[in-house]
Amino acid sequence: MKSFLIKIRAGLFLTPALIIIYFILGSLDLITTYLASPDLKHENNWVYKTFNLNWPLLIAYTFCLYILMSVLLLISIQSLKNYFGNINYLHLL
């Protein structure tokens, strides 16, 4: 149990890298979507079809979603840091 908790605690330091990778992959998704369908004629995303989005709205929606997911990730990581900061590892031995 102790090794598992230590691995989770060590993984908390990777959070900034995960957020950067998330934004890079999201940007690549938008670029490849544009390359495949510049006029969004063949886009099968249900959000696009439901709200009939154009490119500026699709980009705004995507980046708002990425920012929301990043904020939620940071909140969860902060709660994990607070939790692990209060744990006494001696009783896990």
pLDDT in tens, 49-63: 888 888 999 899 989
Strands (E), the chain: none
Residue-wise pLDDT tens digits, 15-40: 778 888 889 998 999 999 899 888 88
Are the C-beta atoms of residues 13 and 23 closer than 8 Å to each other? Answer: no
User: Are the beta carbons of 61 and 53 closer than 8 angstroms?
Assistant: yes
Would you say the pTM of this structure is higher than 0.85?
no
* Percent of the chain predicted with pLDDT > 90: 18
Residue 40, phi-psi category: left (phi > 0), alpha (psi -120 to 50), beta (remainder):
left
Average pLDDT over the chain, rounded to an integer? 79
Domain-by-domain residue ranges, the chain?
Answer: 2-92
Per-residue confidence (pLDDT) for residue 87, from 0 to 100: 62
Q: Which residue has the higher pLDDT, 12 or 83?
A: 83
Q: Which residues of 42-61 are buried (b: 16+ CB within 10 A; e: fewer)?
A: eeeeeebeeeebeeeebeee
